[in-house]
Structure 1
């Protein structure tokens, strides 16, 4: 770690930088480039993740509103205790910021993980079979496969949002998965997002960045 700039160790933390050092096999110059490329590629994944998270929550919310006949469907739906707690937490969070809280405020406050949890095994007979399969008009597979893919994207999203390393992952597969899932919800949105997506160029430039022939940029 002594070869890294002192300001970098102090500002970004030694434990965090050690991960890049290990991946770079002890070469501090490559480790610094890898660290910044990790920030760059994480930023490039934000757009596709943004589209998937919003499309998923709106598709599930709208389907449940139609099924239960109320925009506050969580008040009558068979949520488990953890789900009810997350909804209560969202209400409290909204009330701290607003005098009046609407159902749309609560929907926006609920996490990506909450929405994906509605597709988990415990909700199979309550949500998936009677109603939520309709939220995925372009999917014909099993619920468990869909849930597993979405849950893996939640984990990726959380790593990115908490500024953790993702450079060790098969990011091309992650990227393809995001678009596959988005296509189940809205092929039109997937096409629109891909037209603006800079991830392929960032991924392709990894080698240049690590060699120092192209600077990382974000």
Structure 2
């Protein structure tokens, strides 16, 4: 980085944000001033991605949940012979218990904390409470990726119906969700995403949303801020190092 006079606010930011956290931005720019501009842009881009996740993650889980509810209600309990209920998060069949069984109790605990804090008092979490507490990683994991006969069966009998406009393989769909999931985790941990190929993850978001609903894809495309944020990336005034 070229040696330049630091303004008082630049010294404060370098100290309070820390040289270590600013290091990835400093490597990209010739001056501390521009590194701070890039850091600020990273915040804006992260915010735009997180806004898009409010659509991507909610739509994905609702589409998959709808099919899992219907499928679960068609499954017989091998011990009692009764049919399971639609509520797969409360009464999961054996296959769903094997695939997502570790995540459901944790989501239920988070949902219980949320319902306990409500003004009307504590109540048992409902399906929608637990669903909202499920992580994006769970939905990625349920999709068929590497060979797993159980996940493939779930896809063939239920989950493919959640993606009626899918033009790719289930494995490609799972990879698209995984890419967005990894980007989401970087943002959640306040990490730099300046070199995270965000445009590719925007394509993945569009792929998944479009596979679910084409009208929703049109709305998403017209409202997301990621594209504008990418275009607004500050360019170094000089390539001097």
Deviates more, 1:94-103 or 1:148-157: 94-103
Q: Which moved more, 1:199-208 or 1:96-105?
A: 199-208
**Could you tell me which of 148, 156, 180 is aligned with 1:129?**
156
Call closer, same or farther: CA 1:72–1:11 in 2, change over 3 Å: farther
Q: Deviations over 1:55-109 (max 9, x none)?
A: 1000000001111123421432313667322110111122223222101100000
Higher deviation after alignment, 81-90 or 175-184: 81-90
Moved over 4 A (4+): 1-4
Q: Is 1:175 the equivalent of 2:214?
A: no
Correspondence for 1:11:
16
Moved more, 10-19 or 59-68: 10-19
- Taking structure 2 as the reference length, the TM-score comes to 0.78
Residue in structure 1 matched with residue 92 of structure 2 by the alignment? 76
Partner of 2:142: 118
Cα pair 1:71 1:103 within 8 Å, conserved: no
**Which residue of the partner structure matches residue 131 of structure 2?**
107
Alpha carbon RMSD of aligned pairs, Å? 2.4
The alignment's TM-score, normalised by the length of structure 1, stands at 0.86
Structure with higher helix content: 1
Residue aligning to 2:187? 160
Residue ranges of structure 1 left out of the alignment (5+ in a row) = 212-218
Deviation at 1:150?
Answer: 0.8
Look at both structures and tell me which one has the larger radius of gyration over its CA atoms.
Answer: 2
Aligned residue in 2 for 1:31: 35
Unpaired stretches in structure 2, ≥5 consecutive residues: 74-84, 116-121
